[in-house]
Structure 1
Amino acid sequence: MEAFERVRLDSFFGRIAQQFATTERPASFLITHLLPERPHFVRAVATQTDLRAVLPKPKSINPVARRAVEKTVQCDTLTRGMFEEPDAALDYLEGRAAGADVVLLDVGGYFAPVLDELCNRFSGRIVGVVEDTENGHKRYAGRDKLPCPVVSVARSPLKDPEDYLVGQSVAFSAEALMRECGDIMHGRPALVIGFGKLGSSIARLLHAKNVAVTVYDIDPVRRAQALSQGFTVARDRETALAAAGLVLCATGAMSLRGDDFPHLRNGAYLATVTSSEDELDLEGLPDVYTRTPVGEHVTRYATTGHFFYLLNGGNAVNFLHGASVGPFIFLVQAEILAGVRMLTRGELAAGMHEATAADRRIIADTWLNYFNR
């Protein structure tokens, strides 16, 4: 990023912070993909809140970005397990923010399993959660009752550009890894599992590249949408797996379990758009498969009469190439800051919430003033 771009980005977030300034300044914990541009967003969060720690997603940490953040903010190691056991989660928050009002900024529903215990037992007060992803949205919304407000940006129209461009970056990275193995997408029928925002973007991009695309989704509404857009819709997953030379998993909710892998076509490439722990049950893969690296980020799984290639260890392939979606990510980050103000006003009941249309217009108008040049 050039110097003038860094100045412009800091100016943009400064303006957003002014527009969504909080009367109270709660403590906060930020889970995030620590990508090259992310220190600017971290600084904005630290302006709006008393940022006690950044917890980078472990498979998406840019070393330069981490060093920049660590100059001013504590960076802690994030694991899924640290927020699965209530006592461990409480110990962590008490050690960083005992007695404080706390906002939790989440990516993927990490705080969901222990949220009740945090709200009931923490020495301070959990003001609420801001969640960034569809996967995390489902984890919070799927609960019978939430103990505090959760502001979700996952389904915001301001996130649509990011979702579209993430889909493009996934397809780009998948093909880049295939080319490292001397292969290409063309001539390989593709299967996209999950026809949500990311899956539909991936399917459309592959179709534009003249790749034959089949879609599988458990939701009949999405299957109908895929069919209306000209895609072949699989009637059952096993048959679709057996026919696909490239499988892209985009459900965020365990696309393939252990007994699904033997159905993969010989020589198929398998890639995901999120963490392997969310998308693939690799631990359930039959032990008869041997694992052989055939490239820096490609692993060959083989047993008698069957083999397939797993890209990036089953983790999101696009993070290998920066996962950049350009300035459109700043729309989402600005709405996260708007979500913090919503929580600090103290007007939200426990449950799921979204930013108002008026706030989204302010964000979009400000963003256009800075980036539509």
Structure 2
Amino acid sequence: MESFERARLDSYFAKIATQFTPKEPAASFLVTHLLPERPGFVRAVAAVSRLRAVLPKPKSISPAARREVEHTVPVDTLSRDLFADSDAALEYFESRAAGETVVLLDVGGYFAPVIEDLHGRFSGRIAGVVEDTENGHRRYQEINKLPCPVVSVARSPLKEPEDFLVGQSVVFSTEALMRGRGDILHGRPALVIGFGKLGSSIARLLHAKGVHVTVFDIDPVRRTQALSQGFTVARDREAALAGAGLVLCATGSVSLHGEDFPHLRNGAYIATVTSSEDELDLAGLPDVYTRTQVRDHITRYQTTGSYFYLLNGGNAVNFLHGASVGPFIFLVQAEILAGIRMLARDDLNAGMHEADPADRAAIAATWLGYFNR
């Protein structure tokens, strides 16, 4: 990032912070993709809360960004296991923020498995969670009785540009890797599994590039949406897998199970929009498959009479090229700051919440003043 770009970003976040700094700041823990531009957002979180630790998602860490953040805030190792066990999670939070009021800033529902127990046992108070993704939104929504408020920005209008552009970046990175092996998109039918915001963006760009796209989604409403937009909608999932030369997984909830891989067409490429642990059941793949690294970030899985190529180890393929969506990500990050203030006010009931439309309008107006030049 150029120095003038960094200065503009810091100025933008400083103005956002003045709008959303709570009267009584809470402590916070931040799960984030620690990408090159992210230190500016980290500083903003620290300006509106007492930031106790940054927990970068392990597959998306810029070493330079990490070094910069570590000068002022502890950077801890994040894993699903850390927040799968209530005792381990409690010990972690007690070590960093014992007795404090805490806001959890989540990306993908990491805190969801322990939130109920943590809320009851933590020596301080869990004020609530701000969740950034659709996958995480669903994880919190599935909890029978949430013990605290969860402010979700996953379905915010301010996130729509990001979702669209993430889909575009997934197609870019997928095509770049394929071209590295001498393959191209054209003439290779594609199957998009999941027709949510990311999947629909991926499908539209592939179609614009002249690729024949088939869509599979378990939601009948989304299937009708895909059909209305001119896509083929698969009735038979196995047949759709067998016919696809490219499979793009965009559900956030295990698109391919172990028994699905043998149905893939020979030479098919597989790419995902999130981590392999969320999107693919690679552990369920039959042991007869051998794995060969055929090129950087491309692994061939092969058994007698069957083979396919997995891109970036099954992790989000767009992070290989920075996953950049330009300044639109700063809209979402500003709404996360607004969510911190909402929770710090301590006037929300337990359950799912969204930002106030007036706050979104204020964020959009500020953003336009800085980035629509």
**1:319-330 mapped onto 2 (5 Å cutoff):** 319-330=319-330
The corresponding residue for 2:19 is: 19
Alpha-carbon distance in 2 for matches of 1:333, 1:19: 14
The corresponding residue for 1:334 is: 334
1:105 aligns with 2:100: no
Which consecutive segments of 4 or more residues in structure 1 shift more than 3 A? Answer: none
The corresponding residue for 1:55 is: 55
Alpha-carbon distance in 2 for matches of 1:119, 1:223: 38
SS of aligned partner of 1:173: helix
The corresponding residue for 2:87 is: 87
1:155 aligns with 2:155: yes
1:227 aligns with 2:227: yes
In the TM superposition, what is the alpha-carbon distance from 1:89 to its structure 2 partner? 0.1
In the TM superposition, what is the alpha-carbon distance from 1:110 to its structure 2 partner? 0.3
The corresponding residue for 2:173 is: 173
1:8 aligns with 2:14: no
Deviations 1:67-109 (CA, angstroms, capped at 9, x unpaired): 1101111000101000000000000000000011100000000
State the AA in 2 paired with 1:185: L
The corresponding residue for 1:273 is: 273
The corresponding residue for 1:236 is: 236
State the AA in 1 paired with 2:270: L
Given the two structures, how large is their TM-score scaled by the length of structure 2? 1.00
Deviations 1:38-62 (CA, angstroms, capped at 9, x unpaired): 0000000000011010000000001
In the TM superposition, what is the alpha-carbon distance from 1:121 to its structure 2 partner? 0.3
Alpha-carbon distance in 2 for matches of 1:236, 1:331: 39
1:252 aligns with 2:252: yes
Alpha-carbon distance in 2 for matches of 1:311, 1:2: 31
**1:66-215 mapped onto 2 (5 Å cutoff):** 66-215=66-215
SS of aligned partner of 2:154: coil
Q: How many equivalent pairs are there?
A: 373
In the TM superposition, what is the alpha-carbon distance from 1:298 to its structure 2 partner? 0.3
The corresponding residue for 1:368 is: 368
Deviations 1:120-164 (CA, angstroms, capped at 9, x unpaired): 000000000000000000000111110000000000000000000
Alpha-carbon distance in 2 for matches of 1:303, 1:21: 57
Alpha-carbon distance in 2 for matches of 1:279, 1:286: 17
RMSD after superposition: 0.5
Alpha-carbon distance in 2 for matches of 1:338, 1:182: 47
1:307 aligns with 2:307: yes
Alpha-carbon distance in 1 for matches of 2:21, 2:236: 51
Given the two structures, how large is their TM-score scaled by the length of structure 1? 1.00
Deviations 1:142-190 (CA, angstroms, capped at 9, x unpaired): 1111000000000000000000000000000001111111111111000
SS of aligned partner of 1:287: coil
Alpha-carbon distance in 1 for matches of 2:337, 2:281: 35
SS of aligned partner of 2:52: strand
State the AA in 1 paired with 2:201: S
SS of aligned partner of 2:120: helix
SS of aligned partner of 1:218: coil
Consecutive unaligned residues of structure 1, counting only runs of 5 or more, are: none
Alpha-carbon distance in 2 for matches of 1:312, 1:21: 39
Q: Does the 8 Å CA contact 2:21/2:47 hold for their aligned counterparts? A: no
Alpha-carbon distance in 1 for matches of 2:20, 2:55: 23
Consecutive unaligned residues of structure 2, counting only runs of 5 or more, are: none
